[in-house]
Amino acid sequence: MMNMTEKMLEQIRDLFEKKNIKLFIGFEKGFEKFSRIPAFAENYDEAKSMIIDEFETPLLAKYLIRELGEVGAGAVEKSERVGILTRGCDYLSIRRLVVDNIILRENLVIIGIPCNGLIDPKKANKLLGEEAQEITVDEKIVLAKGEIKSREINKEEILLDRCKKCIMSKVEESDILLEENMDDMEVSKDYSAVEEIEKLTTEERYEFWRRQFDRCIRCFACRDACTACNCRKCIFDITEPEMLEKTVATSEQFMFHFIRAFHVAGRCTACGECEKVCPVDIPLGLLNGKFKKDIELLFDVDEAGIPAEIEPLGEFKLDDPVEW
Amino acid sequence: MDKLLRSNVSRLLKKLSEHAEIYAPTMEDGVCVLSKLVNNYDDWTLDYVRTTNSVKDIFFPQNEEIMRYKNANNDLNIEPPKPFKERVAFGVRPCDAAAMLLLDNVFLEGEFYDSYYKERREKGALITIACEKPDQYCFCTSFHSSPGATEGSDIVLYPADDYFLVVAVTDKGKKLIKANAEIFENATEKSGIVENYKSMKTPIGNNCSPGELNEKLKNEFDNPYWKKIARRCLGCGNCTFVCPTCHCFAVCDVARGCDGKRTRTWDSCKFQDFFLMAGDHNPRPTQVERTRQRFMHKLNYFKEKYDKYQCVGCGRCVEKCPVGVHIADVITHMKEEL
Ligand code: SF4
Ligand code: SF4
Ligand code: SF4
Ligand code: SF4
C-alpha cells in the first residue's frame, strides 16, 4: 500500500505533467530532525523532497497571497494555478482568503489530507527529559527514543496546542483527497482559559495584559503569519501619518495589540498560528478567544470565524437592533 | 580560585544593587526573560538554556530617547538624556557575552563611536554562567566558542554542586569580586570543572563552522539559493530582533508641534520598508534581497570589515523562526555547494 507521501507525489507529478499547476506548496524536512518546513516546487523534481507526516508544521495558506494575490487589486484570475497541500486548518485559512476576495478558488488545486492532530516535538522532548532521536507514531501511541531513555507517550499529551482546539479537521472542498477524511477530532469547546481572565478584577486584568504586552518586541510575526491579516498595507506599516510610534512604550503596545485583535475579530479562524509564532509567547489566543466567545454569545452563532459569505460582523441589516 | 554558593547569589545581587541596576534571568508567565530586578533579588532562575531576549537589550535597548527638544519663540532648547546608571547583567550565557564584543566593533571602533552605547558599556559588567546543558539549537562551538568560554565576560561562573566556581576575566570582574569579598569563598577543589565546560560540545557541534565561507560568498550575490529560502520567509524580522549581534536601528522623532523627543529604535533588514527611500524607491523590493542581506551581512560583509563572523551560534533565530530558516543550514548548504 502506498503511504500518504507517495500518494501525494504521484498526484503532484500528474498535476505538473498535465500542466495543471505552475507551483506546488507542501512541506519538507528542515535542518533539525523533526522540523517540517514549507517547501515550494516549480516542477516534479523539486517536489521529490516533500513529505507528509505527523510533526508540527506551519500553515501554508498565507503564502498564497504572495504567490497568487495582486497587491491592491482584489482577487484576479490567473492563467496558471497553484497546488497546495491542505489540512483542515489550512483549508479554513484558504477559505478566509477566498471569502475576503484576496485570491480566487479557481486558481487553486487543493490536495486535501485527513488529520487527527499534529505532534509537538518539543513537548515530546520535555516528557522524555532529553532530546528525542527517534519518534514513531502508532495511532494514538507515540514512542519517543532518546540516547538514554525511551518512553511511550499518549499522543494527546504532546499534541500541538492549536490541534487541541481544532474546529475543522476535514477538508471539505478538496480537488484531490489523498485519503478519506476521518471522523472529526473530538474537541469540546473550551473557553476555560478565557473565563479565568474574565474572572479577574479590572486592575488584575490590566496588570496581566500589561505584563504580556510589555514583553512584545513588535516583530509583527503574529500579523505576518495570520491569514486574516490580509490588508493591502497594514496600518502598522504606514509611516505617514504614523499610526503607531516606533517606540515600544506600554501605551503603544496596548494600541498595537487592541487594534490587531479588533481587526481580526469575527474573521479569526482560530488557527492559533499567531500564538505559535510569537517569539515571546504572548497568549494572543486568549484575546482572540474572548472575541470569539463574545461573538458567539451576542450573535448566536455556533462557531465564530468560519469564513462565509455572510458573517456576524460583516453583515448589515436595516433592522439592526442597535444604532450605528 | 573563588567560589560562590548558590544560596549567596541573591545576597550578591542585593549588594550590587546598592550602586547598580541588576538584570537577571527571571520567569515571567513561563517565559524566561532577562529583566531588571527591583527588590526581588530572589527571583533569578537557572532554569533556562538561553533567555528569550539577549543581553544586547541592556546595552542597546529596543528603544531609547536620545534627546528632547523644545523650540519656544525660536529659542531652541536641547536636552540630552540623563546619565545612565551602572548596570550588572547576571546570568548571561557565554554566546551572548561574545556577541557584545561584536557590538563593540560596530559601535565603538573607529573614528566615530556611539556615545549612548559607550556609556552603558563602560558602566556595565557581565556576569556569565557557563551552560550546563546546551540544547539542539546551540552551536557556539561552530564559532570557536564553547559553553564555558570567557570572551566578553567580566566574570564567569561555572556551576558545580551547590556552588559556582568563579573565574574573574577582566579587571572590572576582579574589582567586583574584591569589593564583595565577604560573599565569595575560597575554592580549594582542584577539579577539571572549568576545563570540562570549555571542552563541552553542543549537539550541533562545530559542523557548521563557516571557515573561509566569506571568501566564497563574495561571488554569490545572485545564487538561486537566496530565492529558495526567501520564498519561505514571512518577513517578520523576529530572527533579527532576538539576535544578540543584529544592530540595525532607526531614528525617529515623536513631536507635538515644536516639542518632542528623538528616539532610536531597533529596525530590521527583514522588514519590507527598512530600505524604502524618499521617492518611494526600494532597492530591496522583495524578501529575496532582504534574506540575502541578512546572511551576507553575517557571513560576508561583517567578516570583511571586522574579521569575525557576525554570529555567535546562540540559536535564538533558529529556535524562533516560524518557518525554519536556519543559519546553520545556510552555512552547511553553502559550504557544500561552493
Ligand atoms: S488571529 Fe491568530 S488564530 Fe486568528 S486567524 Fe490570525 S493567526 Fe490564526
Ligand atoms: S509575534 Fe509576539 S512579539 Fe511579535 S509582534 Fe506579535 S505579539 Fe509581539
Ligand atoms: S544569527 Fe542566530 S544563532 Fe547567530 S547570533 Fe544571531 S540569533 Fe544567534
Ligand atoms: S524569523 Fe524566519 S520568517 Fe521571520 S524574518 Fe526571520 S527568517 Fe523570515
For B28, the closest of A211, A237, A246 (CB atoms) is: A211
Instruction: Identify which of A104, A90, A100, A23 has the alpha carbon closest to the alpha carbon of residue A62.
Output: A90
For B323, the closest of A38, A217, A247 (CB atoms) is: A38
Question: Is a pLDDT exceeding 90 seen at residue A168?
Answer: no
pLDDT for A321: 76
pLDDT bracket for residue B188 (50, 70, 90): confident
pLDDT for A324: 60
**Do the chains contact at B323 and A58, CB–CB below 8 Å?**
yes
Residues 258-287 of A with CB under 8 A from B: 273, 276-277, 279-281, 283
pLDDT for A184: 63
Q: Note the pLDDT tens digit of each residue in A237-256.
A: 887 777 888 888 899 999 99
pLDDT bracket for residue A138 (50, 70, 90): confident
pLDDT bracket for residue B16 (50, 70, 90): very high
Best residue among B226, B239, B246 to mutate for probing ligand 4's pocket (most ligand atoms within 8 Å of CB) is B239
Q: What is the mean pLDDT of chain B?
A: 93
pLDDT for A294: 95
Question: Is a pLDDT exceeding 70 seen at residue B299?
Answer: yes
For B136, the closest of A32, A39, A246 (CB atoms) is: A32
Residue A273 cell numbers, joined:
498560528
Name the closest-CA residue to atom 7, ligand 3: B243
CB of A126 less than 8 A from some CB of B: no
Q: pTM (2 decimals)?
A: 0.92
Question: Is a pLDDT exceeding 80 seen at residue A188?
Answer: no
Question: Is a pLDDT exceeding 90 seen at residue B244?
Answer: yes
Burial call A65-92: b when 16+ CB within 10 Å, e when fewer = bebbbeeeeebeebeebbbbbbbbbbbb
Provide the residue ranges of all domains of chain A, joining segments of one domain with +.
4-118+160-177, 121-157, 192-314
pLDDT greater at residue A78 or residue A54: A54
pLDDT for A71: 58
* CB pairs A-B closer than 8 Å: 102
Residues of B in contact with A255 (CB under 8 A): none
pLDDT for A17: 95
Pocket of ligand 2 (CB under 6 A): A 216-222, 277-280, 282, 284
* Mean predicted confidence (pLDDT) in B199-220: 88
pLDDT for B189: 67
C-alpha–C-alpha distance, residues A273 and A260, integer Å = 14
What is the torsional sign of CA B253, B257, B258, B259? negative
- Contact in structure between A285 and A272 (CB atoms under 8 Å): yes
CB of A37 less than 8 A from some CB of B: yes
**Do the chains contact at B63 and A280, CB–CB below 8 Å?**
no
pLDDT for A161: 87
Question: Is a pLDDT exceeding 70 seen at residue B163?
Answer: yes
Name the closest-CA residue to atom 2, ligand 1: A274
Residues of B in contact with A135 (CB under 8 A): none
* Mean predicted confidence (pLDDT) in A291-318: 88
pLDDT for A79: 81
pLDDT for A120: 94
